């Protein structure tokens, strides 16, 4: 395998990759020059990840060629790609939590292994060299579990660079970062581009605009647009990405003056690892209002949603739902009180993946009078209801007998939404509802949530996308380390202010 001292150009030509029933890459040609940052944008399923996996040698293209510095290369395995100097930072970090930064980096560096011994001194020198060269501050002796997400990402970057990457591929690098961390990363990457070239996958168009020189938009496996980023506004890029003008759903109605629906007082809940994930958390949500709960994920959001829905036991404190205490009820009992819940893990918790769409629609209601009589399922009624849900919620699937797990993320979320909304909930807990969804699906889900609000249903919207929270919420709460930092009115909230609160800085008032 050819080695390159420098990558002056990476070019792919006419890449085509077919999967069963799908054309994942359809005659894609791209090129990235020296010191360039190419943003690759597109909706989910547009083929971004497939293309990157081909460049990383994880998949073999059915047709097409890859060139580095004009020389054709065959990338059969990820090792081939490393050898050529291509490195990728995945969306999910590949770090061992109970090892130090240094040990993690040494894991991948084969030349640091001397027989049975690892030459940590050599790794340390390399790490210092790299972090000085690119301004990537890392503490080599810290354990991974001690690091914040943004720091872990820097470790991933250092690791990739220590392996000799001269060309970086970053898959949605900002998805878990606070706004401040995101800004830092963007500055860092801009600086790094003086030394190397970067492909940057994202669907946050502001970042694309801020960082990249060139942008390529993928749709249905094809490059539908490429151009210089400077010439286009985020809105124009969004329109090209979805193929239509994007309508942003915003909550502009007057604040609700409904009765308190959900009152959470001094709630303490332990996480799976045993520490207090919620620490005397307080929040009151009225009927007919959307409260956005902002925060970096991992600050107690999951535990809050699970405690409200009876899935997690509480330590102390109360959850009052229309005057009735619901803490420590079983999930079934909470469902009976009229609580709706869109869970974080839509693929494994929100649906039973191997069951059909039809069977998932009745997940919470198989014993209801509507869907069963004397414990015998009423198949006709269930099919009618499922077909109606499929039409009303625009669930795109071959039929209601298709396994729900085989649908795309957006359609899975629509199945969940259809089930929750058609149960006529009195309240809805909604966790990261559009995480990883494309703009079309996100737009649809936001529209439905606003519609539900208008019907007088209170909604707790847990999200890490500030844009989503600021567009939809009546009031915004910020969670940090299991505490409610502040509750702001819609008008008071700015990205900066929220970002500071999300990072744990208390406001003096």
Which position among 149, 224, 363, 381 is part of the footprint of another protein (CB under 8 A)? 363
> Would you give the binding string for another protein spanning residues 291-310, x where CB under 8 A is met?
------------------x-
CB of 414 to another protein, least distance (A): 16
Return the ∠ at Cα 120 (arms to 115 and 123), rounded to 5°: 110
Q: How far apart are CA 55 and CA 61, in angstroms?
A: 9
Beta bridge partners of 125: none
55 and 78 Cβ atoms separated by less than 8 Å: no
Contacts of 91 (CB under 8 A, 6+ apart): 171, 172, 173, 175
Which position among 84, 335, 445, 502 is part of the footprint of another protein (CB under 8 A)? 335
Q: Is residue 56 a contact point for another protein (CB under 8 A)?
A: no
| Window of 15-23, 91-99, 176-184, 284-292 that interacts with another protein by CB under 8 A | 15-23
Q: Is residue 366 a contact point for another protein (CB under 8 A)?
A: yes
| Window of 1-9, 124-132, 243-251, 331-339 that interacts with another protein by CB under 8 A | 331-339
Which position among 125, 367, 451, 492 is part of the footprint of another protein (CB under 8 A)? 367
CB of 49 to another protein, least distance (A): 17
Nearer to another protein, 328 or 372 (CB): 372
Q: Is residue 311 a contact point for another protein (CB under 8 A)?
A: yes
The token pair that represents 408 in the structure block: 């795309």
Q: Is residue 206 a contact point for another protein (CB under 8 A)?
A: no
Q: Is residue 111 a contact point for another protein (CB under 8 A)?
A: no
CB of 332 to another protein, least distance (A): 3
457 and 290 Cβ atoms separated by less than 8 Å: no
The token pair that represents 398 in the structure block: 């071959």
Nearer to another protein, 157 or 460 (CB): 460
Which position among 377, 381, 487, 503 is part of the footprint of another protein (CB under 8 A)? 377
Q: Is residue 239 a contact point for another protein (CB under 8 A)?
A: no
470 and 290 Cβ atoms separated by less than 8 Å: no
Number of Cβ within 10 Å of residue 233's Cβ equals 10
Residues in contact with another protein, counted by CB under 8 A, come to a total of 34
Q: Is residue 375 a contact point for another protein (CB under 8 A)?
A: yes
Which position among 33, 78, 150, 331 is part of the footprint of another protein (CB under 8 A)? 331
Which position among 231, 257, 376, 508 is part of the footprint of another protein (CB under 8 A)? 376
User: What would the DSSP string read from start to end of 265-332?
Assistant: EEEEEE-TTSSEEEEEEEEEEETT-EEEEE--TTSSHHHHHHHHTTSS--SEEEEEETTEE-TT--HH
Nearer to another protein, 97 or 332 (CB): 332
CB of 359 to another protein, least distance (A): 7
E strand map for 374-426: 376-377
Q: Is residue 246 a contact point for another protein (CB under 8 A)?
A: no
Q: Are strands 260-270 and 316-321 parallel, antiparallel or unpaired?
A: antiparallel
Which position among 111, 316, 330, 494 is part of the footprint of another protein (CB under 8 A)? 330
Which position among 292, 340, 343, 458 is part of the footprint of another protein (CB under 8 A)? 343
CB of 362 to another protein, least distance (A): 8
Q: Is residue 354 a contact point for another protein (CB under 8 A)?
A: yes
Which position among 135, 243, 332, 399 is part of the footprint of another protein (CB under 8 A)? 332
102 and 120 Cβ atoms separated by less than 8 Å: yes
Q: Is residue 353 a contact point for another protein (CB under 8 A)?
A: yes
Q: How far apart are CA 354 and CA 360, in angstroms?
A: 10
CB of 310 to another protein, least distance (A): 8
Q: How far apart are CA 216 and CA 237, in angstroms?
A: 10
Nearer to another protein, 112 or 413 (CB): 413
Contacts of 477 (CB under 8 A, 6+ apart): 283, 291, 292, 293, 294, 484, 485, 486, 487, 488
| Window of 115-123, 179-187, 370-378, 388-396 that interacts with another protein by CB under 8 A | 370-378
CB of 407 to another protein, least distance (A): 14
Q: Is residue 345 a contact point for another protein (CB under 8 A)?
A: yes
Contacts of 241 (CB under 8 A, 6+ apart): 41, 42, 43, 203, 205, 217, 219, 439
Q: Is residue 349 a contact point for another protein (CB under 8 A)?
A: yes
Which position among 233, 348, 424, 494 is part of the footprint of another protein (CB under 8 A)? 348
Contacts of 19 (CB under 8 A, 6+ apart): 50
CB of 196 to another protein, least distance (A): 35
Q: How far apart are CA 29 and CA 224, in angstroms?
A: 11
Inter-CA distances, 113 with 139, 142, 231, 302, 326, Å: 22, 21, 49, 40, 56
Interface residues toward another protein, by CB under 8 A: 19-21, 309, 311, 330-336, 341, 343, 345, 348-355, 359, 362-364, 366-367, 372, 375-377, 379
């Amino acid at each position: 395998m050819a080695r390159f001292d420098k990558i002056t150009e990476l070019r792919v030509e006419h890449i085509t990759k077919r999967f069963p029933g799908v054309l994942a890459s359809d005659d894609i040609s791209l090129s990235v020059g020296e010191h360039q940052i190419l943003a690759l944008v597109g909706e989910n399923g547009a083929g971004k990840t497939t293309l990157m996996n081909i460049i990383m040698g994880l998949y073999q293209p059915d047709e097409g060629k890859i060139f580095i510095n004009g020389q054709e290369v065959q990338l059969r395995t990820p090792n081939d790609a490393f050898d050529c100097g291509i490195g990728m930072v995945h969306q999910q970090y590949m770090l061992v939590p109970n090892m130090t930064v240094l040990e993690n980096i040494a894991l991948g560096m084969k030349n640091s292994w001397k027989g049975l011994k690892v030459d940590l001194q050599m790794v340390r020198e390399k790490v210092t060299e790299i972090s000085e060269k690119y301004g990537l501050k890392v503490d080599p002796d810290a354990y991974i579990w001690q690091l914040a997400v943004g720091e872990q990402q820097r470790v991933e970057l250092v690791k990739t660079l220590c392996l000799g990457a001269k060309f970086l591929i970053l898959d949605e690098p900002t998805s878990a970062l606070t706004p401040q961390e995101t800004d830092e990363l963007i500055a860092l990457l801009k600086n790094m581009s003086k030394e190397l070239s970067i492909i940057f996958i994202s669907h946050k168009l502001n970042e694309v605009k801020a960082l990249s020189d060139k942008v390529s938009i993928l749709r249905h496996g094809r490059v539908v647009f490429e151009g210089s980023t400077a010439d286009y506004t985020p809105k124009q890029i969004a329109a090209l990405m979805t193929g239509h003008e994007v309508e942003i759903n915003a909550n502009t109605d007057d604040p609700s003056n409904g009765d308190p629906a959900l009152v959470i007082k001094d709630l303490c809940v332990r996480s799976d690892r045993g520490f207090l994930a919620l620490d005397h958390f307080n929040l009151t949500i009225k009927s007919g209002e959307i409260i956005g709960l902002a925060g970096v994920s991992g600050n107690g959001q999951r535990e809050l949603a699970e405690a409200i829905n009876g899935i997690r036991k509480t330590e102390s404190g109360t959850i009052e739902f229309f005057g009735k205490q619901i803490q420590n009820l079983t999930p079934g009992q909470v469902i009976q009180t009229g609580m709706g819940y869109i869970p974080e893990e839509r693929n494994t918790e929100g649906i039973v993946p191997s069951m059909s769409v039809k069977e998932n629609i009745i997940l919470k209601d198989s014993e209801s009078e509507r869907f069963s009589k004397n414990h015998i399922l009423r198949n006709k009624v269930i099919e009618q209801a499922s077909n109606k849900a499929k039409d009303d919620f625009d669930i795109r699937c071959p039929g209601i007998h298709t396994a729900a797990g085989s649908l795309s993320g957006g359609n899975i979320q629509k199945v969940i939404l259809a089930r929750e909304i058609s149960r006529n909930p009195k309240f809805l807990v909604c966790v990261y509802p559009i995480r990883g969804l494309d703009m079309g699906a996100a737009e649809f889900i936001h529209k439905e949530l606003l519609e539900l609000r208008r019907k007088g249903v209170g909604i707790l919207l847990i999200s890490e996308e500030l844009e989503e929270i600021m567009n939809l919420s009546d009031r915004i709460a910020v969670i940090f380390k299991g505490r409610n930092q502040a509750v702001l009115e819609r008008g008071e909230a700015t990205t900066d202010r929220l970002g500071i609160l999300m990072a744990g800085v208390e406001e003096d008032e």
